[in-house]
Amino acid sequence: MSSTSSAAGIRARVATVLAGVLLMALPGTPVAAAPAIADPAAPAQPGPPHIVGEQTVPAYSYADAIRESVWVQTRADTDGDGVRDRVAVDLVRPREAAAAGIRVPVIMDASPYYLCCGRGNESERKTYDAAGVIAKAPLFYDNYFVPRGYAFAAVDLAGTARSTGCEDVGGRAEVGSATAVVDWLNGRANAFTADGQPVRAEWSTGRVGMIGKSWDGSVANGVAATGVPGLATIVPISAISSWYDYQRYQGVLRAADYPGYLHSYVNGRGDEACAQVLARLRTDSAEETGDYNAYWAQRDYRPAAGRVRASVFVAHGVNDLNVTTNQFARWWQELAEQGVPRKLWLHQAGHEDPFDVRRAEWVATLHSWFDYWLQGLRNGIMDEPRVDLETAPGVWTTQRDWPATGTRKVRVALGAGDGVTGTLGGRGARPGQERSYVDGSLTESALVAEPSTAAAGRLVFLSGALTAPVRISGSASVRLRIRVDRPTTELTARLVDYGTAERIQYGSSEGVRTLATESCWGAATAADDACYRDTEEITAVTDHAVLTRGWLDAAHHRSLRFSSPLRPDRWYTVTVPLNAYDAVLPAGHLLGLVLGQSDPEFTETDDQDATVRVDLGRSELILPLVGRAGLPRVDVAPPVVTAPPAQPAPARTGPWDNRQLP
């Protein structure tokens, strides 16, 4: 073990112990620290009714819960009206606990989606009664946890729904609007009722756990990166940790006007109120350059991992094409280096909540996690393996950490093969042996189909048939020595598993099917029944699958902060990073590396029609492999692979639009 990893491990253990001590010591906690010397004759002091042993139980009425709205004042005036922004917070909390003077912690989901678009698989929106009081909060968090001694806070981010201000899409105003709510729950910020009366959160212990999928989880990451006191834990699900990496792929534009699109989609104000903010988003994001600048640095939470005081429970799908896997993987790595207490769930579906993948186990784990970090209950969850991993459809395992213990970086040489299909493994080509390809703007289906057949617009390299299972765990990359006859071009790379297997079908459905049956998760009212349609993973037996992808604007090969146009008479060494992945390739399968250029289904670029020459002997694939198994040696001709021909590309009547909602 290196000294760095050893120190990180020590910090993690110390942080876990200190966090537990602080949880027990904070004022208002419903669990009192034990006295140094107990009197056996003294009667036992009763605890709050929602705690039995080391677990919370449903002890309070959900139907009779206190439902109220407050508007928390932030530090910003984003709409420039001379008044600081106020964010709407809809609260549900146990009435009996309030009557007994029992303070409760808060589970909080801060979202831009509550009224515009909805949350969860069934796109639930907030609903209100005739007096404007919250009647239904989306998702099951309030139904399940309020009877167990928690409050739930559904926060409308600045500029959305019933909040004032303007949305700045991952920026300081957005993060600050959620941070202000944590401050209010700890007595450090002001809040008001609808009629302007000041209101304090005297019922709160001050301990807050943030949770949310996609944009909501991204906000949780951003708030944790501020180090705000009182935020005890976050549960980011399919969440963004760098907005640059969400809207740019290593200098390549994902889609035009993405910041403006996201702002306008969730904007809860009139167009004129936020026109200046929208204009700044479009200008400062520097779409014309693709550079990482001050705008993007403000929306990159990873460098601030050292400020994180909260524990972090990450959940993500390894086949998420919306919020790609590097978002969790790089955040996870930064948190690990800082010794942040953490936990990870990885499933094989796409942009999905674990509630719709492994429902009962997810709710039980979430319950234990919040009980530990918000209620101070010693339930053993931090003694369990850190990672839950879906290795095949419906097959789960646990492991100590991620990437898997024993992962090593393996350099895999590229060979010329038979002149049509190159090889992966073995001695590889001699330096100076070249292959070239012309940009074909191919769809992914065309890129990876029939790898043993010549096709313009790509280069394909195949391993031999695997003699033993091979596991990839972590982030691969492709190091290329290239010459390009244009100032730049998009470079793309894909790892493909060629071999028959049952796989999650994670395309437009995200790999999950909604069923006709339903199950209920918590208490109910007439307005909110806590019942949700059941789901199942969608699988099919296929003969190949793309594992992971990577993109690079070649002119950004030196730095993402500036471009360096390529000269046609020079060779350049560039690295195309691939998204993090975890998979086991069975014996008999082949691993393929497919190189392309412009990628219309995933990105948008005007730099097309370039010819790229690749020096195979000075290029390589770098794989994160677990254990000693590697790729079989292939020195001359690659195996012949018969795969279905490419499917016709989708009809294209105008520019591609790759914008999605996080």
Q: Is 564 a catalytic residue?
A: no
Residues near 540 by beta carbon (within 8 Å), at least 6 away in sequence? 502, 503, 505
Q: Please, are residues 538 and 493 in contact by the beta-carbon 8 Å criterion?
A: no
Cβ neighbours of 11 (radius 10 Å):
16
- In this structure, the chain runs to a length of 662
Which residues on neighbouring strands pair with residue 462, listed in sequence order? 423, 592
Q: Is 214 a catalytic residue?
A: yes
Is 130 exposed, middle or buried (CB count within 10 Å of its CB: 0-12, 13-18, 19+)? exposed
Q: Which of 163, 214, 238, 619 is catalytic?
A: 214
The alpha carbons of the chain give a radius of gyration, in whole angstroms, of 26
403: preceding bond cis by omega (within 30 degrees): yes
Q: Which of 109, 142, 156, 320 is catalytic?
A: 320
Residues near 46 by beta carbon (within 8 Å), at least 6 away in sequence? none
Which residues on neighbouring strands pair with residue 581, listed in sequence order? 474
Distance of alpha carbon 96 from alpha carbon 442, whole angstroms: 62
Q: Is 351 a catalytic residue?
A: yes
Closest CA to 71 of 148, 180, 147, 203: 180
Q: Three-state SS for 277?
A: helix
Residues near 648 by beta carbon (within 8 Å), at least 6 away in sequence? none
Q: Please, are residues 592 and 466 in contact by the beta-carbon 8 Å criterion?
A: no
Which residues on neighbouring strands pair with residue 494, listed in sequence order? 549, 594
Query: Positive or negative, the Cα torsion across 76, 77, 83, 85?
Result: negative
Residues near 150 by beta carbon (within 8 Å), at least 6 away in sequence? 56, 93, 94, 104, 105, 106, 107, 370, 374
Q: Which of 316, 347, 351, 556 is catalytic?
A: 351
DSSP H or E segment with residue 342: strand 342-347
Residues designated as active site: 214, 320, 351
